[in-house]
A = this chain, B = another copy of it.
Amino acid sequence: MSVTFAQGFRAGGIVAGLKPSGRPDLALLVADRPCAAAAVFTTNAFPAAPVVLSRGRLATGRAQAILVNSGQANAATGSRGRGDAERATDAAAAALEVDPSLVLAASTGVIGRPIPMRTLLDGIQPLAASLSPDGGAAFAEAITTTDTVPKVATAGRRHWRTGGCAKGVGMIAPNLATMLAFVTTDAPLSPASARALVTGVLEPIFESLTIDSSTSTNDSVFLLASGAAGGAAVEPGSPGWADLASTMEDVGTSLVEQLAGDAEGGTHILVVEVAGAAADEDARRVARAIAESPLVKTAVFGGDPNPGRILQAIGSSGVPFDPDLVGATIGHVPVIAAGQIDPAYFAGAGDAARRAMKERTVVVEVSLGTGPGRGRILGCDLSYEYVRINGEYTT
């Protein structure tokens, strides 16, 4: 049900002809009336044109529609790209009869190539005609690039519904940059409350994902709140706030796990949980160093624990800790203890760790023994297929 699970939204997705593959490539999400809206965007110094446009329009905290194209990222396209993003959203606004300042944009695809604007503009009317309260699946399909499956999630608490969809799956494949996520809720929210949910709940969840250490030019996570469920505005401190936040957490967590599971060439999900750091930020840095280590990622692909590589990654993270207190497990099997490879590992206990490495999801837990800081990062392995997808492509 994706982005139309929540009341007050319609969506659609069509084949406009932007992708050579002929798969759906133009998508639109529309609320029945202006929504409280918030988003977080890539920190890359070369943000794509639609990122610049959406960030600017969201200064008001309100939006009613999001136009998404796949096939061209509209990144590194300069003033022409900025003009294209304006023209595309203007056309959508006209078709929807809403104020252009309420229409946001997202793009994903080849960096540097301009969008074929005539093709896109020709698609706006049929796209608007396809909008439906059941259009969430078509929307989720049309935003994908190298994704092998659409990613959708829903959650409900009290009388509120929250839904969403995302596409991945790394900085990504054949130049097809981007992680995009769209979350909708029918809870009534102020712009400030929507912003609090994005930065407080959704952002940390999406930041915990690392496919190939690459921050794309287009990454965006949007939240639109229609208020269609009725009732009083929900805000921090409201009786229902925690429940509403937990719907965001459920949807975000599910989408991120689906993204990790569909990583380019990925055959395993790698979950790294670090405890005992001086601060949460330190714990996340250690977890990220492990999840992004090419040696750990190839070890996960190969199904062999190689605890020395985990130790090496911890030690190169730059985070302060006492090496003699460090421990680690793979699938709850101790492999590092007191800063050394656990002697039992070479004596046979390695077999249990080796079995844990064959699971679809491989869990590495690290204890630094220094403080209360905790962090969790979700990643994937590094396979032949990753090299094939990203190495055999020709622009």
Q: Which residues of A contact B (CB under 8 A)?
A: 43-46, 73, 75-78, 110-113, 171, 175, 177, 212-217, 292-295, 298-299, 301-302, 304-309, 311-317, 321, 323, 336, 338-341, 345-346, 350, 382-384, 386-388, 390-395
Contact = CB atoms under 8 A, between A and B. Distances in A.
Given A75-B311, A111-B308, 20 more contacts: A43-B316, A46-B315, A76-B336, A76-B340, A78-B339, A78-B340, A110-B308, A112-B311, A112-B340, A171-B295, A175-B306, A177-B312, A212-B294, A214-B295, A217-B312, A294-B294, A298-B387, A299-B390, A301-B387, A304-B393
Contacts of A45: 314-317, 321, 323
A112 B338 CA distance: 12
Contact of A295 (B44, B302, B313, B390): B390
A138 to B, nearest CB: 28
> Top 10 nearest A-B pairs by Cβ distance?
A111-B308, A112-B341, A302-B391, A298-B390, A46-B315, A45-B315, A44-B315, A215-B316, A298-B391, A301-B391
Given A76-B339, A340-B77, A316 B395 contact: no
A143 B108 CA distance: 48
Contact of A217 (B46, B77, B311): B311
A388 to B, nearest CB: 8
Contacts of A392: 302
A212 B73 CA distance: 28
Contacts of A298: 386-387, 390-391
Contacts of A341: 76-77, 111-113
A48 to B, nearest CB: 10
